[in-house]
Structure 1
Amino acid sequence: MLRLLHISLMLFAMLFASPPAVAADAPAGSVRVIEIDGIIGPATASFVAQQLESAEAAGDRLLVLRMDTPGGLDSAMREIIRGILASPVPVATFVHPEGARAASAGTYILYASHIAAMAPATNLGAATPVAIGMSPGGDGGPQPPAEPGGEQGKEKAAKPQTGSAMERKAVNDATAYLRSLAELRGRDLEFAEKAVVEAASLSSTQALQAGVIDLVAEDLPSLLAQLDGREIEVHGKTVTLATADAEVLVVQPDWKLRLLGALANPQLAIVLMMIGIYGLFFEFTSPGFGVPGVAGAICLLVALYALHMLPVNWVGVALIAFGAALMVAEAFLPSFGALGVGGLVAFVLGGLFLIDSQLPAFGLSVPFL
């Protein structure tokens, strides 16, 4: 069994230690285009960081971050923003195509970029932190309606209520963070605060009028045409963009990053965990066959890696492991179903508590469990 586990560890290391693919033969002075499409997670942050390094090494004129996102994890968002702020290559975030959005974490990234652009019929905003379980601008409970002209209504309009001290800390931290990005890039401060405190949103036209973004462009050629000759500041130096004749290099994530993105799925993680547990169980109870042990060890290692990339509540992981142990024990210690039922209850509760986030894409549904 130790030999099988050793083989599994070697396969796992080979899978995730291979060098990341980088766009080859990138001509000097190119405009590099990458995409954020969907939830922002660790795989997204890794891809953006990789391409920022490649853009610097290749001497690219501009990196365009084409974005359509409902938001994502705070840690991944901040990693992307740190990369943008440290990049010597100008970064233009472009909310595209029509109908796309830069909500929540996307708004922060848009504010942090050297150039903020949007396509028509797109929107940004709703940047209130939601992973802490709060409702924007309120304490989460029903509030009596205030008279529009009354003192109560004026007071609430001037100072939105935020429930607990923890919620206020999160909102104040997010507000200060977005405000600091707005000050750095010379963007509208008023909307930055409203986007966090009131979950306010703007269309592309409204954002341009309010000074939140720099321009509206229908597509990538239009964006590059408008940016040509524009002067921006990068690390205290004035840079004149020359994008009209630049070659456009569209870079797609390599297989490793696509795999990591697929693994950041709680349903897949929990299925792999159960396959791993039962694979090892069958190997221990029927030694010598080999396949269940190898498959189980690989699945369990991949599941643990997937959980590492997710906002995991480790109490949920412990409950799932305890539930699986009880169900396995039922096979050896007949208890008229008591251990099996207890294991099932612990497993379901662990699944419900597993993901410590209210972002829909990172949650586990009750029907799935």
Structure 2
Amino acid sequence: MSRVLAILFWLVSVLVLGPAPVSGADRVAFLLQLNGAVSPATAEYVIRGLEEANEQAVSLVILQMDTPGGLDTSMRDIIRAILSSSVPVASFVAPSGARAASAGTYILYASHIAAMAPGTNLGAATPIAIGGGGLGGEEPKEGDKSGQSGEENGRPQLYPSDAQKAKVVNDAVAYLRGFAELRGRNADWAEKAVREAASLSSNAALDQKVIDFMATSPEELLQKAHGRVVRIGGKDVRLDTSGLAVREIAPDWRTRLLSVIADPNIALILMMIGIYGLIFEFLTPGAVIPGVVGGICLLLGLYALAMLPVSYAGLGLIALAVGLLVAEAHSPTFGVFALASAVAMALGATILFDSDTPGLTVSWPVLGGILAATLGFGLLVARLAFTARQHAVVTGAEEMIGIPGKVDSWSGNAGYVIAHGERWQATSAETLTTGEQVRVVGRDGLTLQVARPTA
């Protein structure tokens, strides 16, 4: 009887309170990999991973980084997700030889736990790509004519003379110092990383309290993070990471696709394939495949450009190059428009993306290939158009000129002739006879002008 009551009590508990949590479900640490430039694709991957971690209430998220920097907007999206996460995030610069430069430094500072593997580095957080919206690291030259140098609290300071750059730098300083104060890390070095593009090795970062500890693997990170107190949602939480199982969260197909097409080289190649495919389809209607493939590639390329910081001048030059190709096809200039199109295309591709933003540059081999392809395509169009002018006309009213015919009936200087299997009204300066062979020498509307064929 007691066993029956116990079973009934258990069933009521399950129905009222819900199923009991699965044993060990919260004893998992998610591992996210942030490799390469910080872009919209990587930001979406990290944000989705953090959302899944919050839904499953895992104990910790390890964000393993090896990045040269990237887009400011994508970096801020990742940081917002980290700050709003109810699951603690441990940024881990690994493996040996990896770096968390520029945007990676901001992400590391914003995380609840900051760790680095031996032989790694971080820093160079100066936002130099002002126009493109990127965060790349480049050490400014102290005493340069474009800025002023000075000292404040014993630290060398660089104050850009340009007001816009000064605003961006000061905003970045305040942004990074805020994270340092929130996580109890070295705020002075954070400012130095922005103003002077300073960098640190893993050992120096540990000595200067920029990171919490060093680790050689995610498993060692979990051991060293156990018992540490972090602040989540305004509350201090003591981490219990001992014995956690590490589960790597791989990016889904959509994120992998975005990572591929968001590469400036791939985006540019897709655009070129799309443009050439559509031009070829318009020049040879009915080919179908070039139009379909070109349309798909062009849409994918434009979608990638919408995610990346692009220059309107570069887009304008590419549009001019397309217009010159079309002009070459309709009014051949013996390759002049084709050459101008190749030059405009190469210049547009060169300045389309901000070359100072890490991971968002177009490689020289791709630029050379685009130049050669544009020039070759333009010269091919010019050759086809020039060759077409030497051929006999086979369509339109002009196609009737020169074709043979036979007089069907005639009276004076007018009558009817059979040409192309059709009966036409015709006129002639000569008097013709029925059944006589003639040649069309002109056309006025639906009336042909004919004459006897010359020997």
TM-score norm. by structure 1 comes to 0.86
Partner residue of 1:243?
241
Deviates more, 1:358-367 or 1:287-296: 358-367
1:366 Cα offset (Å) = 4.3
Deviates more, 1:157-166 or 1:304-313: 157-166
Q: 1:367 to 1:288 in 2, by over 3 A?
A: closer
The structure with more strand, counted as a fraction of residues:
2
Partner residue of 2:88?
90
Task: Please give the per-residue CA displacement for 1:270-300, whole angstroms capped at 9, x wherever unaligned.
Answer: 2211111121122222222311111010010
Match of 2:124 among 102, 123, 126: 126
Q: How many residues align?
A: 338
Bigger radius of gyration, 1 or 2? 2
Give the 3-state SS of the residue equivalent to 1:287 in structure 2. Answer: coil
Partner residue of 2:439?
none
* Mapped contact 2:27–2:243 kept (Cα < 8 A): no
Match of 1:288 among 286, 289, 298: 286
Task: Please give the per-residue CA displacement for 1:241-287, whole angstroms capped at 9, x wherever unaligned.
Answer: 12112222111112221111111122211221111112112222222
CA distance in 1, matches of 2:307, 2:142: 30
Partner residue of 1:272?
270
1:367 Cα offset (Å) = 4.6
Partner residue of 2:229?
231
Match of 1:116 among 114, 117, 123: 114
Partner residue of 1:197?
195
Deviates more, 1:259-268 or 1:352-361: 352-361
Give the 3-state SS of the residue equivalent to 1:239 in structure 2. Answer: strand
* Mapped contact 2:150–2:158 kept (Cα < 8 A): no
1:205 Cα offset (Å) = 1.5
1:157 Cα offset (Å) = 6.3
Task: Please give the per-residue CA displacement for 1:188-244, whole angstroms capped at 9, x wherever unaligned.
Answer: 111011000011111112111211111111211111111122221111122221211
Greater RCO (CA < 8 Å, at least 6 residues apart): 1
Partner residue of 1:23?
none
CA distance in 1, matches of 2:365, 2:155: 40
Partner residue of 1:319?
317
* Mapped contact 1:103–1:124 kept (Cα < 8 A): yes
Q: 1:158 to 1:270 in 2, by over 3 A?
A: closer
Partner residue of 2:180?
182
1:136 Cα offset (Å) = 3.9
Partner residue of 1:351?
349
Q: 1:113 to 1:255 in 2, by over 3 A?
A: same
Q: 1:279 to 1:184 in 2, by over 3 A?
A: same
1:335 Cα offset (Å) = 2.0
**What amino acid sits opposite 1:184 in the alignment?**
L
Structure 2, gaps ≥5 residues long: 1-23, 132-136, 368-455
Partner residue of 1:68?
66
CA distance in 1, matches of 2:238, 2:314: 52
Partner residue of 2:53?
55
CA distance in 2, matches of 1:184, 1:154: 26
The structure with more helix, counted as a fraction of residues:
1
* Mapped contact 1:49–1:80 kept (Cα < 8 A): yes
1:142 Cα offset (Å) = 6.7
Q: 1:154 to 1:41 in 2, by over 3 A?
A: closer
**What amino acid sits opposite 2:157 in the alignment?**
K
CA distance in 2, matches of 1:197, 1:109: 18
